[in-house]
Amino acid sequence: MAQPKERVAFIGLGVMGAGMAANLARKGFDTTVFNRSAAKAEPVVAAGARLAPSARDAVEGAGVVFLCLPATADVEAVLFGPAGIAARLAAGTVVVDTSTIDPVATRGFAQRLAAHGVMMLDAPVSGGQKGAVDGTLTCMVGGPDEALALARPFLAAMATTIVHIGGSGAGQVAKACNQICVSANLVGASEAMALAMKMGVDPARVREALLGGAARSVVLERHVQKLLDRDFRPGFRTALIAKDLAIAAKALDDARVFAPVSAVVLQVIKGLAASGRQDDDWCSVGDLVQQLSAIPQAGGPAQER
Ligand code: NAD
């Protein structure tokens, strides 16, 4: 494979960022990384990346800078906070934010960076930890063509589907649409599994049958399997889907979209977070549904929780 000369930086090496950054390093890109807790960088360094002592050090000399951080406030802090990187980015640098954050805030960040001659893409992803590790993510991109042309070879190391949705913020709008679809699917599937259990029918057999028909989905394939295994290790933390659905709810409200299903799903996920499952995988919503349906074992101490 051709070895691109340009240096790339990656900030935020959690569940998603670690796999994504490791793919950049493994595929021959000159990669420097930073994470708030350094221990998370170990597997990425093992894949060939260099660990920098700060975010500012990481971006020194990088032509493309990736962010994969929890929420809008984290992206703002890393870009513009007291130790923020914006002050260190050379004109012509492309910032690629793969975090799922607020689309309106994204547009504001892009404008502030543009004042320094720095381009920004919003490029949130779908595909979970497995997609990040395998390099098979779907990436929804908002921002200028020129920036995507520069970032595309790097994105291609992490994603097999890269869709340029539109201008700044459009990628985040697409991601909100994605979260609306998958969360309604998981809450519905959780209720279906609870019904099977209450009726004395094997939920694993029901899942198997549903996978062959119109109900087939990634949620049924992966998330419901995790639920039936009572494996509540994240994965995708409840706190993050709660954050995503709050973003989607605000966007739906601002755009005056009739969205009763999203309103209910948001309440269910808020209840899940309030039930002490903030840091569990969000498939634990199925466990909450079982608990509230008086299904034995539900709500009990899952081994991996
Ligand atoms: P995570 O909490 O596992 O990782 C976030 C990482 O950012 C952590 O390692 C944390 O230490 C680091 N961090 C936070 N603030 C920092 C700072 N100021 N400087 C440096 N590092 C900092 O979260 P994740 O699951 O990897 O998700 C990251 C983003 O991707 C979120 O916006 C999430 O919604 C989105 N996402 C997650 C999934 C998933 O399945 N986990 C899938 C698609 C998209």
- In the predicted model, what is the mean pLDDT of residues 18-27? 98
Structural domains counted in the chain = 2
Say how far apart CA 77 and CA 111 lie, in whole Å: 16
For residue 163, give the DSSP letter.
E
3-state secondary structure (DSSP) of residue 202: coil
pLDDT band at 298 (very low <50, low <70, confident <90, very high): confident
Task: Answer whether residue 152 shows pLDDT above 50.
Answer: yes
pLDDT at position 227: 98
Same domain, 50 and 128: yes
Helices 238-254 and 170-198, interaxial angle, to 10°?
120
Distance, CA 99 to ligand 1 centroid (Å)?
7
Same domain, 13 and 129: yes
- Binding-site residues, ligand 1, Cβ < 6 A: 11-17, 34-37, 40, 55, 68-70, 74, 77-78, 99-100, 125-126, 128-129, 236, 240, 244
Q: Give the model confidence (pLDDT) of 246-271 as tens digits.
A: 999 999 999 999 999 999 999 999 99
Q: Give the domain CATH number at 76.
A: 3.40.50.720
Task: Answer whether residue 159 shows pLDDT above 80.
Answer: yes
* Helices (runs of H) and strands (runs of E) counted in the chain: 14, 9
Say how far apart CA 111 and CA 81 lie, in whole Å: 16
Task: Answer whether residue 127 shows pLDDT above 90.
Answer: yes
- In the predicted model, what is the mean pLDDT of residues 231-244? 96
Instruction: Evaluate if pTM is beyond 0.75.
Output: yes
Distance, CA 10 to ligand 1 centroid (Å)?
12
Is 182 in contact with 219 (CB distance < 8 Å)?
Answer: yes
> Per-residue b/e over 67-83, b at no fewer than 16 CB within 10 Å?
bbbbbbebbbebbeeee
**Residue whose C-alpha is closest to residue 219's, from 231, 207, 202, 205:** 207
Say how far apart CA 78 and CA 68 lie, in whole Å: 11
Q: Which of 167, 195, 211 is the last residue of a domain?
A: 167
Q: Give the domain CATH number at 279.
A: 1.10.1040.10
Q: What one-character-per-residue DSSP string does 261-273 give?
A: HHHHHHHHHHHHI
Same domain, 131 and 14: yes
Phi first, then psi, for residue 175 (nearest 5°) are -65, -40
Distance, CA 221 to ligand 1 centroid (Å)?
24
Residue whose CA is at the smallest distance from ligand 1 atom 4: 14
pLDDT band at 5 (very low <50, low <70, confident <90, very high): low
Q: Give the model confidence (pLDDT) of 166-182 as tens digits.
A: 999 999 999 999 999 99
- In the predicted model, what is the mean pLDDT of residues 101-130? 97
3-state secondary structure (DSSP) of residue 207: helix
Same domain, 265 and 224: yes
* β-pair partners for 181: none
Tell which one of 10, 13, 15 to mutate to probe ligand 1, the residue whose CB is within 8 A of the most ligand atoms. Answer: 15
Same domain, 139 and 178: no
Residue 233 CB neighbour total at 10 angstroms: 12
pLDDT at position 299: 82
270 is catalytic: no
Residue 191 CB neighbour total at 10 angstroms: 15
Residue whose CA is at the smallest distance from ligand 1 atom 8: 14
Same domain, 114 and 12: yes
Same domain, 19 and 157: yes
pLDDT band at 305 (very low <50, low <70, confident <90, very high): very low
- In the predicted model, what is the mean pLDDT of residues 27-41? 97
Phi first, then psi, for residue 140 (nearest 5°) are -105, 110
91: containing domain? 7-167
Element (H, E) at 82: none
Phi first, then psi, for residue 137 (nearest 5°) are -70, 160
Q: Which of 152, 167, 182 is the last residue of a domain?
A: 167
Same domain, 204 and 280: yes
- Asked if residue 80 belongs to a domain, the reply is yes
